[in-house]
Amino acid sequence: MTGGFQSGRAPLLTAYAVLVYAFLYLPIVVLVLYSFNGSGVGGFPPHGWTLDWYRTLGSDSALWDAVLNSAIVAIAAVAISLGLGLPAALALDRAEFPGKAAFRRLVLLPLILPGIITGLSLLTLFVGAQIHLSLLTVTLGHGTALISVATTEIFAGLQKLDRRQEEASLDLGANHWKTFWRVTLPNLRVSMIAAGLLIFTLSLDEIAVSFFLIGRDNTLPLEIWSRLRRGITPEINAISTLILLFSIATILIWYRLRTRSAPVEEVEEPAAALLPSALEGEAS
Amino acid sequence: MYSRAYRTSVTIPPLLWVTVFLLVPYALLFCYSFWSVTPSREIVHNWSLRNYTELFRNSMYPTVLFRSMRIAGAVTALALVLGYPLAYYLSFHATKRKDLLYQLVIIPLWASYLVRGYAWKTILGSDGVLNGFLQYLYITHQPVEFFLYSPFAVVLTLTHIYTPFTFLPIYASLEHVPRNLIEASHDLGSSPWQSFWRVIAPLSLPGVLAGATFAFVLTLGDFLAPLLVGGPGGIMISNIVVTLFGAAYDWPKGGAISLCMLVIVVGILYLTERIERKFSFQ
């Protein structure tokens, strides 16, 4: 194909890429290794391999309460963000209305905005409306912030949709609602599931927005956070390892779902949707 | 092709929701920044610019803001230095294992922020893994204290977190570089370096801009890494905001700083958009 270093072997570049991967994975490997370390979180080499930390974890009821809280918040956040991300994506794709460009920017802003601003602004709203901080406020925060992810994911799905199927359905006498339920929605199923998985994982790991909106009951990341301030034990490595395993599994399923219908080069990542051009381009 | 009722019913619910839960809260934060708080911790709605003028009068705020920007700049530069060659390698050299290698980058991208921050804390601590390793090899005899609780630790941790974020748009833009353009530049006699600087680099600029924006903006607003690994010397602007909204109970001043951050962020987004449009070759 092409000559020179744009193709073929490049030993230096390969070595550099290996180093970058090492940098990305070194902390993760260390974290997992020390979750089996009998003699604490630090020191080298790790010794006294044990499963004790995982056993401690099993009987730690405060931690499992937090896991349950996080799961409830994440499921509700998925429902909110999909329930609003679907119409938002349809609106961006199909409707023209004054202020559409501003609407798109507003919906997508939490993707790039530091969590502290989303969290604090919602905090002022809830305090102003005299709503007590609880898991409900955390859920509303996650749901609102993650509409951005749902919208970009479903919007990408809509771009792949074959419009002629919808036209055929309308031509054959089905009305818009029937067409939506029988043609549009089934075609978006994979995008919706993929978006739901990603949102579930992101909500489960979310900490910056939750930090400001949490009431008495902790989510898992905030429970871990409050323990970190009291001192660290390999028990935190153990729960972190389990969180990582869960995240990796859902991310890989999400990725498979996303690439099933398109080769990898053509997949527009949610992150890539933040390219200013992509924000602009969606209008046309 | 879509009826008016259809268009209205997909537009109104999300429009209402983001108005109530995004627009109104931003407006409220904006209002707070002009209010004040009494010594008895009551918020008074007397409008003034005092919170803003005080931000410039007390040298602590600009100092910490500039430190945050320096840290954000360092993280952005490092994330680009690590992310660009990696994206380049995947796009042009990894043929068979491309899919696997790509997945290996998106795993750390979406995997827990807290878990990765915590991992660095256990590595860099004075009785942490790195110090243990250095003493094991007899490179040092005392624990090195400055690894953890320093701006260095914040930069390292955030670079680790945001490198995959910068990788992604760069990779996407490299994948969109038409391969026949590179061939044409080779055929016309340019060296690989010339092809890179004259063809590939300009075409991947939008990705670099998007990645850099990501890393800079998200680092600038981070308050968790400084709390986790930063120590007093690694305090960033968001940490001051957290204190003002928490123990110090000065929401108006916290609001003013948040508003400044929001303006900086939106300003950066606007600038990158302008630059990108100017250098757009399509």
Break chain A into its structural domains and give their ranges. Answer: 8-50, 58-281
pLDDT of amino acid A39: 78
How would residue A8 be classed by pLDDT, with cut points 50, 70 and 90? low
B236 contacts in chain A (CB < 8 Å): none
CATH number of A58-281: 1.10.3720.10
Task: Please state the ipTM of this predicted complex.
Answer: 0.91
In whole numbers, what is the pLDDT of chain A averaged over residues? 86
- Closest-CA distance of chain B to residue A262, Å: 13
Q: What is the percent of chain A with per-residue pLDDT over 90, rounded to a whole number?
A: 57
Mean pLDDT (chain B) is 90
Q: Mutate which of B4, B9, B10, B166 to disrupt the A interface (most A C-beta within 10 Å)?
A: B10
When pLDDT is averaged across residues B214-240 and rounded to a whole number, the result is 92
Interface size A-B, in CB pairs within 8 Å, comes to 314
- HSE (CB half, 13 Å, CA atoms) of B61? 18
Q: Which of A43, A198, A247 sits opposite B132 (nearest CB)?
A: A43
Residue A89, C-beta contacts closer than 8 angstroms, at least 6 positions apart: A150, A151, A152, A154, A155, A157, A158
Question: Among partner residues A42, A113, A124, which is closest to B265 by beta-carbon distance?
Answer: A113
Whether residue A31 and residue B115 make contact (CB cut-off 8 A), yes or no, is yes
Look at residue A271 and tell me whether its pLDDT is greater than 70.
no
| Segment 219-278 of chain B within 8 Å of chain A by CB | 220-224, 228, 238, 241-242, 245, 251, 254-255, 258, 261-262, 265, 269, 272-273, 276-277
B188: its two tokens = 């016309």
Residue A31 distance to chain B (closest CA, Å): 6
Q: Report angle CA B195, B199, B202 to the nearest 5 degrees.
A: 135
- Confidence (pLDDT) at A48: 78
Contact yes or no for A122/A137 (Cβ under 8 A): yes
Cβ count within 10 A of residue B95: 9
Residue B126 has pLDDT above 80, yes or no: no
Whole-number Cα distances in Å, A147 to A94, A143, A171, A270: 18, 6, 33, 12
User: Which residues in chain B are closer than 8 Å to A208, comparing Cβ atoms?
Assistant: 113, 222-224
CATH 3.90.1170.40 given to domain B64-278: no
The per-residue pLDDT for range B171-223, each reduced to its tens digit, is 999 998 998 888 899 889 888 888 899 899 999 998 999 999 989 999 999 99
Q: Do A6 and B200 touch (CB under 8 A)?
A: yes
pTM for this prediction = 0.90
pLDDT for the residue numbered A280:
34
Share of chain B above pLDDT 90, in %: 57
Percent of chain A with pLDDT over 70: 89
pLDDT of A127 above 70: yes
For residues B128-140, give the mean pLDDT. 84
The mean pLDDT of A147-163, rounded to a whole number, is: 90
pLDDT at A273: 43
On whether the CB atoms of residues B102 and B90 are closer than 8 A, the answer is yes
Q: Which residue has the higher pLDDT, A232 or A106?
A: A106
Q: Tell if the CB–CB gap between B115 and A14 is shorter than 8 Å.
A: no
Q: Is the pLDDT of residue A117 over 80?
A: yes
Q: Which of residues 61-90 of B touch A (CB under 8 A)?
A: 82-83, 85-86, 88-90
Using the beta-carbon criterion (under 8 Å), do B258 and A41 form an inter-chain contact?
no
Distance CA B134, CA A157 (A): 50
Residues 201-230, chain A, touching B (beta carbon < 8 A): 201-202, 205, 207-208, 211-212, 221, 224-225, 228
The yes-or-no verdict on residue A100 having pLDDT over 70 is yes
Question: Is 60 exceeded by the pLDDT of residue B282?
Answer: no
The residue to which tokens 């009291």 are assigned: A230
